[in-house]
Amino acid sequence: MQHCRGQAQAAAWLSAQIRTGRVTHAYLLTGQHLLPLKEMGRAFAKALHCQNPIQGDSCDKCLNCLRFEHGNDPDYLEV
């Protein structure tokens, strides 16, 4: 999962949630720097929608990953 400096622990924890199948109904990402949090949340959402996740990260090759990258994922809305 993509992460910025200082977010490695959070990114590893989120990846572990996907790998172990222990994803909950909601996550709240907070902090001072909005852009890195937005990127991490986006990477997490992409990995959740991925059809073939690799070690808790998205494969970047399946139909869902391609839709996500092109902004065509019907289950993802960024506000």
Amino acid letter, residue 23:
V
What is the pTM assigned to this prediction? 0.81
Written as six digits, the tokens of 61 are 């090759």
Among 68, 69, 50, 67, which Cα is nearest to 59's?
50
pLDDT along the chain (79 residues), means of 10: 67 90 88 83 92 92 94 85
- Give me the helices (H) in 1-79, please: 8-20, 34-49, 63-69
The pLDDT assigned to 4 comes to 55
The pLDDT assigned to 76 comes to 87
- Cβ–Cβ < 8 Å for 58, 50: yes
The pLDDT assigned to 67 comes to 94
